[in-house]
Chain A
């Protein structure tokens, strides 16, 4: 998985609790992304980062925040988890912007009860 780890790999939580997912890379890639994958929707971009402390919203950013204090770590926080945020979350990295390959992590399966 191109030097990308995600933690935890599985999590069950209750509605209303905050949740933080971590993406760690050892490739020193500048760009990092968070996606969610749901049946019938493919992968949808939540937030992305183009450098330390530089982030921007994606297609489905409501209810999520991100932080990137180091090149290697990109955190996704669900401020108050809801059942609609039950999903599989993937982190991806890319060396440059534009038409460049994105490498995906193994995913985190999150269930919100």
Chain B
């Protein structure tokens, strides 16, 4: 039972462009929304996270936008670089610290 829907499945962006990945959640009890980055052959690593009391969080080139009323949040990667090529997962968690992950977006940044 999918509780976090992520799109697109794959994304190709030119170097210097903006990458945008979207997620929608169903459970209004979710109160923590992290994004994980995964390189081939590695485990996921936390990239950036947001709580629902703010609408936006920025860390360097990475920004999360959060829309509580629409139950959606998105990851924006500004000035995308080839080194950003990876798979990105959104996730949500409420009580008991159990993360529910989206299905992932494979990002390729071309030269």
Binding site for B on A (CB under 8 A): 1, 4, 31, 33, 40-45, 48, 56, 58-59, 90, 92, 94, 96-107
- What 20 additional pairs, Cβ within 8 angstroms, besides A97-B97, A106-B41? A4-B43, A33-B99, A41-B103, A42-B102, A43-B89, A45-B99, A45-B100, A48-B98, A56-B96, A90-B43, A94-B97, A96-B97, A97-B96, A99-B31, A99-B93, A101-B49, A102-B46, A104-B43, A104-B45, A105-B43
B interface, how many residues as a size bin?
20 to 34
Interface residue? B62 (CB, 8 A) = no
**Shortest Cβ distance from residue B10 to the other chain A in the assembled complex, whole angstroms:** 12
Using known A-B contacts A98-B95, A98-B97, A99-B51, determine if residue A42 contacts B103 with beta carbons closer than 8 Å.
yes
Query: Closest residue of chain A to B4, judged by CB?
Result: A42
Question: With a CB–CB cut-off of 8 A, which chain A residues contact B41?
Answer: 106-107
B101 touches A107 (CB 8 A): no
A99 to B99, CA, bound (A): 9
Contacts of A4 in B (CB 8 A): 43
Q: List 5 A-B contacts (CB under 8 A).
A: A1-B43, A42-B104, A45-B99, A56-B96, A98-B97
